């Protein structure tokens, strides 16, 4: 007789319990597992008792299940501790100017700045600035040599309209002499004014934009 063949009365009770608690959880805990083993012993057929080797296998499964729950609990505690360490480290960045991987920054005092890099020399580089709705507001050409470059936009659209505020995203498109795409990357920089870890991920406020702590690549001051 196995755990799956407990008596109908036990199964009915388990079903009722499962029905009443299904809204809150669908996972078995170690006590549920042990109760099933006890039910198996209590309701086994005297003329055909549970095979001892099979029962020992079930006991080993129970032990493994219980141990796994303990490990999961310890891992959760470790993750929580590491999150606290990360948050504490992030606090030290407040007031400092940092550089982070990313393509979105805020337009402030008629200025928005980005860094961009090319993995190799290009024959053509196009810099495109889009607003928070994804509309292209400005397009220009960029430096074509490999390496790191900077780009500062004064908030003036291609049609001559002066924008005053908002979040803007820079995209970089580069091709070589053969028309093949050149790999690019973008960064933003600014002063860290706050942190937030309420989502479970430590975020830094840089120029009014939330940036993951892990995206910080340099501290410049």
Q: What is the DSSP string of the chain?
A: --GGG--HHHHHHHHHHHHHHTTT-----HHHHHHHHHHHHHT-BTTBPPPHHHHHHHHHHHHHHHHHHHHHHHHHHHHHHHHHHHHHHHHTTTTSEEEEE-SEEE-BTTBEEEEEEESS--SEEEEEEE-TTS-EEEEEE---SSEEEEEEE-SB-TTSPBP-S-EEEEEEEEE-TTSPBPPEEEEEEEEEEEEE-TTSS-EEEETTEEEEGGGEEEE--
pLDDT at 208: 86
Q: Taking all residues of the chain, what is their mean pLDDT, rounded to a whole number?
A: 79
pLDDT at residue 23 above 60?
Answer: no
If you average pLDDT over each of 25-29, 47-51, 89-93, 177-181, which comes out highest?
177-181
pLDDT at residue 17 above 50?
Answer: no
User: How is the chain split into domains, by residue range?
Assistant: 3-91, 97-219
If you average pLDDT over each of 17-26, 37-46, 166-175, which comes out highest?
166-175
pLDDT at residue 4 above 60?
Answer: no
This prediction's pTM: 0.60
pLDDT at 90: 75
pLDDT at 147: 96
| 9 — pLDDT class (breaks 50, 70, 90) | very low
Query: May I ask the CATH architecture of the domain 97-219?
Result: Sandwich (2.60)
Q: Which of 2-6, 52-56, 89-93 has the lowest mean pLDDT?
A: 2-6
- Residue that wins the pLDDT comparison between 34 and 188: 188
pLDDT at 12: 41
pLDDT at residue 205 above 80?
Answer: yes
pLDDT at 56: 63
pLDDT, tens only, 149-181: 999 999 999 999 999 889 999 999 999 999 999
pLDDT at residue 44 above 50?
Answer: yes
């Amino acid at each position: 007789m196995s755990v799956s063949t407990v008596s109908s009365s036990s199964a009915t009770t388990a079903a009722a319990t499962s029905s009443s608690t299904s809204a809150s959880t669908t996972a078995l805990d170690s006590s549920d597992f042990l109760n099933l083993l006890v039910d198996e012993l209590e309701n086994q057929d005297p003329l055909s008792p549970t095979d001892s080797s099979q029962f020992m296998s079930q006991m080993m499964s129970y032990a493994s299940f219980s141990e796994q729950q303990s490990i999961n609990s310890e891992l959760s505690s470790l993750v929580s501790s590491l999150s606290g360490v990360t948050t504490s480290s992030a606090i030290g960045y407040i007031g400092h100017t940092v550089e982070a991987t990313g393509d979105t920054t805020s337009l402030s005092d008629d200025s928005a700045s980005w860094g961009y890099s090319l993995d190799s020399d290009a024959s053509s580089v196009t810099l495109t600035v889009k607003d928070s709705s994804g509309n292209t507001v400005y397009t220009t050409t960029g430096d074509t040599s490999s390496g790191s470059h900077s780009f500062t936009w004064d908030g003036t659209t291609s049609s001559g309209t002066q924008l005053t505020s908002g979040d803007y995203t820079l995209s970089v498109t580069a091709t070589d002499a053969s028309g093949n795409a050149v790999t690019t990357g973008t960064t933003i920089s600014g002063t860290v004014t706050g942190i937030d870890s309420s989502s479970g991920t430590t975020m830094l406020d840089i120029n009014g934009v939330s940036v993951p702590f892990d995206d910080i690549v340099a501290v410049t001051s």
